[in-house]
Structure 1
């Protein structure tokens, strides 16, 4: 199947027309469109096997982000220009009957887009609407700054130390030992400032108030790590403001469900698309 590479040429009107794009999109196929959004540091190719296992015919738009996957950095702020670039892309491409599928940070982006634009479907894969509330309870977004001791430590960490940290984190993201080095390699290859400051942007997010603006039926897929009994209440609380939702949890899976429970993920996505996007 022939693939056409689209690189968005503009960021915001106030920036030079030749500025580095916040996103790169690979478009392929024909049919109702699906935009696939990967997580933080993750290339769009993480969705390749999922796309190969779709039932039906779709036009897929696979996204990668500036600062990752070999793409140049756009500096800071980082998350907001990516969101705006995606909205601009969807409008410019005139994508109707659109389904958004996002993993991790991609789920956050998909949520924000669905709250602003009219979309036909939304699938959120192991993403929380405010991860700060879970990771740093009671800490206000205003207290998180780019210039902080932790960020400076990460920026100045030697390559060997950063690699060890990336490997340690990757082992907490998948049960598949053969995927650990791959996941770690995305962080290691990332633009370091994008990695550090971009994560600060993510910690500031609180999308819970925007959930009320989403009217489409939403499928939320979570990973059972460390246990379903701990995970499910967090998803129910985080997405309490979402009107029409189904929450399903993948057993024996960490964050990268597409690696740990691929067949389960394919079945969940295909069942949803059969009802909502054909």
Structure 2
């Protein structure tokens, strides 16, 4: 009986030691200064594979995939707050210091949340076509109080057939990248997403406004924006939304849509490598 007790205790301690957050999966590789890669909405961590292979220096890389996307099972909604909390806890548990975060779109929003929680652990950030308040851009006349999880639009999206969603995803892909060769990839990410995470998760993002948190972030930040529809149209948005961030530089990619790493890869790699040096 005593032997059984100690064996049970050992198994429990081993399982606890290797337990991972259900809110994300993370692929860790390499050695050196830690660089956390946070993908955009629906995208897996593998979206950063090409970027990592084009880094000039050696880093220890952490590629996150969120619950409900890729091959990671969904978790209870709402899920964004859980993601931000669990990724921040992971950084603390792993005792990561002098951390660089590179975040695309939603990944940039998470980067802001995490850097505000760990201002002394995050040294640099790269925001790739990310904003702290997307609602102001996509729904500027709609108060946050009017954005509801239970809405006719969300109900329609939840109940939409796969064929109908695929058509919608196709239009979205065309709007997110100039590279037609990458459109099926983007469509696949949407189609492989958990439907409730896809619908209600985006509603969560619309409700977020992280602009006040920027004032508490000392990290040196490179903000890379796409010039779609034009540099003159987007530059004021970046300047206004990141006004509270002290240590920043804003650069705009020419002839690019939302996925800058697809549309202008050489420019993107050069800017990231120069900044990380």
Q: TM (normalized to structure 1)? A: 0.91
Q: CA RMSD in A?
A: 1.3
Do the aligned partners of 1:175 and 1:254 also contact (CA within 8 Å) in 2? yes
Which structure 2 residues correspond to residues 7-156 of structure 1 after superposition, within 5 A?
Answer: 9=19, 21-117=22-118, 118=120, 119-156=122-159
Residues 52-107 of structure 1 deviation map (CA, whole Å, 9 limit, x = unaligned) = 01011100000000000021100201101011110011011111110010000000
Which structure 2 residues correspond to residues 180-191 of structure 1 after superposition, within 5 A?
Answer: 180-191=183-194
Q: Which moved more, 1:135-144 or 1:88-97?
A: 135-144
Aligned counterpart, 2:232? 229
Do the aligned partners of 1:39 and 1:105 also contact (CA within 8 Å) in 2? yes
Residues 243-276 of structure 1 deviation map (CA, whole Å, 9 limit, x = unaligned) = 11100000010000111001111111101100xx
TM superposition shift of 1:10: 5.7
Do the aligned partners of 1:8 and 1:85 also contact (CA within 8 Å) in 2? no
State the aligned residue count. Answer: 259
TM superposition shift of 1:8: 8.1
Higher-Rg structure is: 2
Distance in 2 of aligned mates of 1:138 and 1:241: 22
Which structure 2 residues correspond to residues 207-218 of structure 1 after superposition, within 5 A?
Answer: 207-218=210-221
TM superposition shift of 1:137: 1.5
Q: TM (normalized to structure 2)? A: 0.91
Which structure 2 residues correspond to residues 220-259 of structure 1 after superposition, within 5 A?
Answer: 220-259=223-262
Structure 1 residues 190, 77: CA separation in 2 closer, same or farther (over 3 Å shift)? Answer: same
Distance in 2 of aligned mates of 1:172 and 1:187: 14
Residues 110-130 of structure 1 deviation map (CA, whole Å, 9 limit, x = unaligned) = 011111102111110001110
Q: Which runs of 4+ in 1 moved over 4 A?
A: none
| SS at 2:205 equivalent | helix
Distance in 2 of aligned mates of 1:50 and 1:34: 12
Distance in 2 of aligned mates of 1:147 and 1:97: 41
Distance in 2 of aligned mates of 1:251 and 1:10: 40
| SS at 1:172 equivalent | helix
Tell me which protein shows more helix as a share of its residues.
2
| SS at 1:69 equivalent | coil
Do the aligned partners of 1:8 and 1:89 also contact (CA within 8 Å) in 2? no
TM superposition shift of 1:203: 0.3
Do the aligned partners of 1:8 and 1:23 also contact (CA within 8 Å) in 2? no
Aligned with residue 208 of structure 2, among 191, 205, 209: 205
Distance in 1 of aligned mates of 2:214 and 2:113: 8
Residues 116-175 of structure 1 deviation map (CA, whole Å, 9 limit, x = unaligned) = 102111110001110101111142222222111110010011111100000111000000
Q: Extract unaligned runs of 5+ from structure 1.
A: 1-6, 12-20
Distance in 1 of aligned mates of 2:51 and 2:129: 15
Distance in 2 of aligned mates of 1:151 and 1:102: 26
Distance in 2 of aligned mates of 1:169 and 1:59: 33
